[in-house]
Every structure is written in structure tokens, then in C-alpha cells.
Amino acid sequence: MKISVANVEHIARLARLELSQSEKELFAGQMDAILGYVDKLKELNTDNIIPTSHAVPMENAFRDDIVHPSIGLEKALANAPDRAGSFFAVPKVIE
Amino acid sequence: MNIFDMTIHELHAALKGKQLSSMEATGAMLERIEALEPQIGSYITVTREQALEAAGAADKKIAEGNCDILTGIPLALKDIFLTEGIRTTCGSRILDNFIPPYSATSWEKLRDRGAVLLGKLNQDEFAMGSSSESSAYGTTRNPWNTSCIPGGSSGGSASAVAARQAIATLGTDTGGSIRQPASHCGCVGLKPTYGRVSRYGVIAYASSLDQVGPLTIDVEDCATMLEAVAGYDPKDSTSVNTPVPDYSANLKQGVKGLKIGLPKEYFIDGLDPDVQQAMTAAIETYRRLGAEFVDISLPHTDYAVATYYLIATAEASSNLARYDGVRFGHRADADALLGMYTKSRSEGFGAEVKRRIMLGTYALSSGYYDAYYVKAQKVRTLIMNDFIRSFAEVDVMLTPVAPTPAFKIGEKINDPLQMYLSDIFTIPVNLAGTCAMSLPAGFSAAGLPIGVQLIGKPFGEETILRAGYAFEQATEWHTRKAAI
């Protein structure tokens, strides 16, 4: 097994997910099978191959620095689960 | 005059000739949607009032003599496209109450030409899936056989066209999510070249692979829809600033002398005999039309699924970090900020999305980044080079879309790896960043549609549309309708 329940717990923490015991066990098995499958990439020698991050060769896309109207405060806050004046409100950050 | 038999072009002629109003066409579509939804489930949201209002405005334009090809045509969008003021869920519980403050450029382009929005279509959650079963809003059913999946992730976009609950739709394709459902539902579906269509306002899954494209009844409609949405968008710096050809004007030039490549790696042992037969018949049709066939090889095909599930999940784990309950979407009750993030995400995301976030997080995590993520990016280079080498010899490639016709609902839901392998013939195209189209090309013994895939060179949409049109003129598969 490449992936143990302890591994799953660690990855879940990194991903800000909370899993039930049965989810952890299910994911451990499934991720193990998937990672076992992707191991076939190791068959290929890629020592001198340049990685591709983008299919279309593209340099930085520059544009002129022009001010455009933005959507505005009310629209930007319209979906906020909680707000305080012109801010998004969240539970306390520091004890 | 039955609008449920009409393509965009036929309805346009009827609207222009005043045989029919957009109000009548839109009203009839809305009735059909309502009647068929209990059986099919194509839609997450039906925008009845907005649709009738837009239809009225279109009729006014038509009366004034301004009848663009899309004016008054009832269309629908995958629920991944932001639509200002209209709920957009992306198939997820986490966006259940999300009302976008702006619209996707692709939808704005259609709307500005007078198209009518019927509603937002079901999909796999965050476009992660091949069956539309991972949606938080129920499973869409295949109009040809309601015990089968419609394909995914743009399942609702395909089922709506097949059941004539919309004249045409837009979907997105990250690893086959337009072409595979189009194949399973017997419609035309095109994934454009990466950069051809703006993705501004399209909810991101895997940003180096995602692309917007149409699902339609026939190739002519596909050309019309692509023409309408393609082109550079200053709001999407990955959109490419090259002119959009007049796809419709060049459809009828035939395929005489066209060099079609048959990649040997796509004719595998596990290929369903009905799919094999459709492929053989398609090759015969093209031969008769004067195309030339060349045997080619894409030697790294077998590594594409593994490469995809590392790159796509890595990008997804990063893209989906924004769903944290702070600015929009679901927020869980919690005493402190970290708990709020974790609880909101855990309650809001479904199993497949969690699984992919976990896989991607793992592939990017310290100690595994080079072994998994960078390795996959290097193999991606090899896969791209396969295409570049072969496209020096051929104009297009012809392959199956999926190894089997639509499978049964529930058949693969508990085995993610088997589900992933159903995208084996569509994924390489996304990794290579080129364009491809699924065309109706036959039926299985059980009566399910089967598509074939035309793969084009980067920005070679014109050629695959022309080849697709020639095929359609020589066959009648696209004229068959699901008996629903």
C-alpha cells in the first residue's frame, strides 16, 4: 500500500478537508489504486525532456495599464455569507 | 411545423420568414423541457421568465428586420458558465446559492446576438466526471435509454440537444467532457484548440486543459456556434489573438485528397465491437468521398490517462482552494477561521471532487512534486510531440470517441479508475491542446448512439468541420432522434 489512512489524514489537512473514518478508508484504497496506475509513467525515460505547463506556446501576455470600471462594492459583496459594512466578515482568526 | 425537428439554421429560416416567432419557439421548448425533465433531468435551473422576455425582444428585432442567425434561437448553457443574476452551481452544493455578479464572455457573445437562454444544464460537479453522476443535483439520463448515463461532464448539454430541450448548447471539455457526452447522446460536439474560445467567466477546473465548445444537432450548427463564441478576449490572457475563420463558408469543400491518419494505438483489443463497426463504416465512407488514409502512430497514447489525472487534479486542487466560505458559496458554522474553511469545504464538496483535490494535493506535496507532477508534465511533452510528428504527415485523424457506448447508471460509480479509463481516446487531445469533434456515426445493437472523433491540427477547426460536414452529407445518423 502506497497510501495509508495516516497519509490520507495528512493530505486532507493540507487540502483543508475533514473526512469521516469511512471516507478515509475508502479514499486510501481508491488513491492507492489510482497512484498504482499512474506509476506506469515511470516506464518512460524523461531525463532530457522539458516539462509542458501550457499547450500553446505563450510568453507573458502584457496589456496596457488602463483603468476600467469594476463591479463595485455592493455587487462584490452580494454573495457574501456574512458582511460587516464594506468588508467580508469571518469568524475570529486568533484566540 | 415542428420546432423539435429543427436545427439553428432551419429555425432561423422560419423566424426570418415569419412562419414562427421566437416567442412560439421558446414557449414550445419550455413546455417540452417541463414535460421531459422528470425522465431526463437535463437542467439544474430553467430560466422561464428571462427566456420569454428575451424571446419577445428577439421578435421585436426580427420585426425591425434585424434577424441575425442566432436571434431568437433558444439555447442553454452548462451550469459552469457564469450568468449575471442567474444562479450558477457548477453542479456543486458549495455553490448552491451563488448568483454571479457578471457573465461569461462566451454567453455574452451569444446573448448580444439575440440568443435566448432557456436555462442552466446539469453536469458532473466542477466538471469532474464522465457520467454526470457526480452532480449534487441528481443524475441526468440518456434520452436514448434512460437507464444509461448521458456521458459527462457536459451530460446535460448533450442530453438537452438529444431530447430537443434546447436547439444547441455550450459545454466545456477538459479531458473529453464535450465529445464523450456528444458521442453517447448522438449529437455533434466540438472541443476547440486551447486558446480559441475565451474562458472568462467559466468556472475553472484544470486551467491548462479547460476549453469551451458547442454541442449541436449537426455540423453546420456547430460551425455557427463556434464562430459566435471564438476569438480573442482581453479578459482572458490565455485566449489567442488569431483571426476567426468563416467556418460556415468553408464547410462544403469536400474531403477529396484530404489525408486522414489512423493512429494504431486507438484500435485496442478492448474496443467494443459496435464501436469498431462504426469506425470501419466511417473509414469506408471517407474512402468513398475521396479521402486518403495514412497509418500513423501516437506511441505515448497509453500514458495519457495517467498524465491527465496528475496534471488535472493538481490544477484542480489549486483552483478549488478559492471555495473557502469567505466571499461566496456555502459557509459552515464554526468558532474559528480554520475550522470554517475546513467544515465549509467538507460539507460543500462531493466525493469525486474531494478525491481529485486529494490526489492533486498529494501530487503537488513536498517530496512528491517531482515524482508525480513534473514527471506528468514531461510525459505531456512526449504526448504533444506525438501529435506534432504525425500532423506533419496528415491533415486530420479519425478515431473512436469512447471505447464503449453509454454505460449503465451506477455501473462505474464505485470504481473511479474504471471511470477515468473511459476517457482514454479524448484525453490526449486536451494534453496536446489541439481541437477535435465528435460526430454521430452509428448505433449499437442495443440502439445507443456511437460517435467518431475527428482530431485537427492546432487551430484547424475549419478542416475538421469541413470533414465532418462531408461525412454528415453522406450519412443519416445525425437525423435520427431519440424516441422520447
- One-character DSSP codes across B121-168: E--SGGG--SSSTT-TT----BTTBTTB---SSSHHHHHHHHTTSSSE
Chain A residues whose CB is inside 8 A of the B302 CB are 40
Residue B310: per-residue pLDDT: 97
Q: How far is A91 from chain B (nearest CA, A)?
A: 5
Instruction: Compute the half-sphere exposure of residue B277: CA atoms within 13 Å on the CB side of its CA.
Output: 10
**CATH code of the domain containing A25:** 1.10.20.60
% of chain B residues with pLDDT over 70:
100
Bridge partners (DSSP) of residue A87 are A84
Closest CA to B180 of B198, B196, B157: B157
Structural domain including A36 reads 5-43
Partner A, chain B 96-115, Cβ-Cβ below 8 Å: 97-99, 101-102
A82 close to B (CB below 8 A): yes
A68 close to B (CB below 8 A): no
Domains of chain B: 3-261+393-479 (3.90.1300.10)
B446 close to A (CB below 8 A): no
In a domain, A28, yes or no: yes
Partner-chain contact B433 A80, CB within 8 Å: no
Q: Is B285 exposed, middle or buried (0-12, 13-18, 19+ CB in 10 A)?
A: middle
Span of A91-95, B24-28, B404-408 with lowest mean pLDDT: A91-95
Q: How far is CA B472 from CA B154, B317, B478, in A?
A: 23, 41, 7
Partner-chain contact A52 B420, CB within 8 Å: no
In a domain, A33, yes or no: yes
Concerning whether B177 is annotated as a catalytic residue, the answer is yes
In a domain, A31, yes or no: yes
In a domain, A72, yes or no: no
B375 close to A (CB below 8 A): yes
In a domain, A95, yes or no: no
Concerning whether B42 is annotated as a catalytic residue, the answer is no
Chain B residues whose CB is inside 8 A of the A82 CB are 331
> Which H helix or E strand runs over B442?
strand B435-443
Residues B384-392, mean pLDDT to the nearest whole number? 98
Joined grid coordinates for residue B178: 464535450
In a domain, A26, yes or no: yes
Closest CA to B82 of B28, B136, B120: B120
Q: How many residues does chain A have?
A: 95
| pLDDT tens, position by position, B281-334 | 999 999 999 999 999 999 999 999 999 999 999 999 999 999 999 999 999 999
B342 close to A (CB below 8 A): yes
Concerning whether B183 is annotated as a catalytic residue, the answer is no
| pLDDT tens, position by position, B220-266 | 999 999 999 999 999 999 999 999 999 999 999 999 999 999 999 99
In a domain, A58, yes or no: no
Partner-chain contact B381 A52, CB within 8 Å: yes
Query: Positive or negative CA dihedral for B136, B138, B139, B142?
Result: negative
The number of distinct structural domains making up chain A is 1
Q: Which of B106, B130, B154, B177 is catalytic?
A: B177
Task: Say whether pLDDT at A89 is over 90.
Answer: yes
In a domain, A12, yes or no: yes
